[in-house]
């Protein structure tokens, strides 16, 4: 049975659409001390490397290319390489972030069975609005709330709290992994799509809780300037840090001795890999805690 493209709904979808963009997984592989994505330095838990499925047709994939390239060159690579956190952006940033959150919404809405009926409706409406925007309805962009947080800023501070998280090595686990999912709180009536792209956090706020504060993180659909400092107070920070701690614990429990020695050997042979920069940052937090 042929699968129709979820975006244009007229052409047949190609067998493989990436959810996490390919340049992100390539960059993680380069940073990983083993050169492989699947390593304790890059567990990539929720969305696997090359996790792909029939989602879009070739023409619709092309629609996303330009915004993706601008994001890679202006935001992602400069941040990964030297923690660069200030840049001007055009409409492409909001468009890119929406292309990302829309893909994850399409995939995750069928798994929202435990959410309230209201939240499920809100998710479906948001998905449809995002689809129109991605197909060229620029006015729809005004109602799509996107936030960008770089792990060098407030999130790094947040991650210094909580013994559980510190033990897992938050720098390594955030900056050598990529994941994305829909998350919600029935009691708060809030709903969001979050992505971590190697320390670049993208949050699509669909239904906000009354107590959230996001300063200096909103990305305008018309473009703007991004610069620190950022300040975030949101239920999402708890969700993301708790998930991270759980994922890392599971991963740590599943590593064999052989895998561990292979990693140690390659760490010794590739001391400049970016993962080691992050590893040192984690060791520093642990030491600060001890003293
Ligand atoms: Zn299409």
Distance (angstroms) between ligand 1 centre and the Cα of 61 equals 7
Higher pLDDT: 90 or 26? It is 90
- In this structure, the number of other CB atoms found within 10 A of the CB of residue 16 comes to 13
Domain extent listing, the chain: 66-254+274-290
| pLDDT at 36 exceeding the cut of 60 | no
- Cα 288 from Cα 76, distance rounded (Å): 29
- Cα 98 from Cα 79, distance rounded (Å): 20
Distance (angstroms) between ligand 1 centre and the Cα of 110 equals 20
Look over the chain and give the mean of its residue pLDDT values, rounded to a whole number. 83
| pLDDT at 5 exceeding the cut of 90 | yes
Cβ(237)–Cβ(153) below 8 Å: no
pLDDT of residue 32: 63
Distance (angstroms) between ligand 1 centre and the Cα of 74 equals 27
Question: H or E element: which one contains 147?
Answer: strand 145-150
Higher pLDDT: 96 or 269? It is 96
Distance (angstroms) between ligand 1 centre and the Cα of 160 equals 43
User: Confidence band (pLDDT; 50, 70, 90) for 45?
Assistant: very low
User: Confidence band (pLDDT; 50, 70, 90) for 263?
Assistant: low
| pLDDT at 259 exceeding the cut of 70 | no
Q: What does pTM read for this prediction?
A: 0.88
pLDDT of residue 208: 94
N-terminal to C-terminal alpha carbon distance within the chain: 62
Contacts of 58 (CB under 8 A, 6+ apart): 11, 14
pLDDT of residue 135: 97
pLDDT, average across residues 255-281: 65
User: Confidence band (pLDDT; 50, 70, 90) for 268?
Assistant: low
Distance (angstroms) between ligand 1 centre and the Cα of 202 equals 24
| pLDDT at 38 exceeding the cut of 70 | no
Q: What tens digit of pLDDT does each residue of 89-119 get? A: 999 999 999 999 999 999 899 999 999 999 9
Distance (angstroms) between ligand 1 centre and the Cα of 203 equals 25
pLDDT of residue 277: 78
Distance (angstroms) between ligand 1 centre and the Cα of 4 equals 8
Backbone angles phi, psi at 52, to 5 degrees: -145, 155
Q: What tens digit of pLDDT does each residue of 165-206 get? A: 777 677 777 887 788 889 999 999 999 999 989 889 999 999
């Amino acid at each position: 049975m042929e699968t129709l493209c979820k975006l244009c709904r007229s052409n047949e979808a190609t067998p493989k659409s990436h959810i996490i963009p390919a340049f992100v997984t390539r960059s993680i592989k380069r940073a990983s001390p083993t050169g492989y994505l699947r390593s304790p330095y890059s567990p990539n838990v929720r969305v696997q490397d090359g996790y792909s499925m029939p989602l879009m047709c070739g023409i619709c994939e092309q629609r996303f290319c330009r915004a993706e390239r601008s994001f890679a060159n202006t935001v992602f690579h400069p941040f990964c390489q030297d923690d660069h956190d200030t840049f001007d952006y055009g409409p492409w940033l909001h468009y890119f972030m929406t292309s990302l959150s829309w893909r994850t919404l399409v995939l995750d809405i069928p798994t929202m069975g435990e959410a309230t009926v209201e939240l499920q409706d809100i998710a479906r409406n948001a998905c449809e609005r995002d689809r129109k925007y991605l197909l060229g309805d620029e006015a729809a962009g005004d109602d799509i709330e996107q936030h960008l947080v770089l792990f060098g800023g407030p999130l790094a501070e947040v991650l210094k709290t909580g013994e559980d998280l510190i033990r897992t090595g938050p720098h390594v686990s955030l900056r050598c992994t990529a994941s994305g999912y829909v998350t919600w709180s029935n009691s708060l009536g809030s709903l969001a799509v979050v992505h971590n792209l190697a320390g670049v956090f993208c949050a699509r706020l669909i239904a906000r809780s009354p107590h959230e504060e996001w300063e200096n993180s909103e990305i305008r659909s018309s473009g703007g300037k991004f610069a620190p400092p950022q300040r975030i107070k949101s239920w999402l920070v708890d969700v993301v840090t708790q998930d991270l701690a759980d994922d890392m614990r599971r991963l740590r429990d599943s590593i064999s001795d052989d895998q561990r020695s292979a990693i140690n050997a390659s760490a010794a042979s590739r001391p400049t890999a970016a993962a080691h920069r992050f590893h040192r940052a984690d060791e520093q937090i642990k030491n600060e805690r001890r003293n």
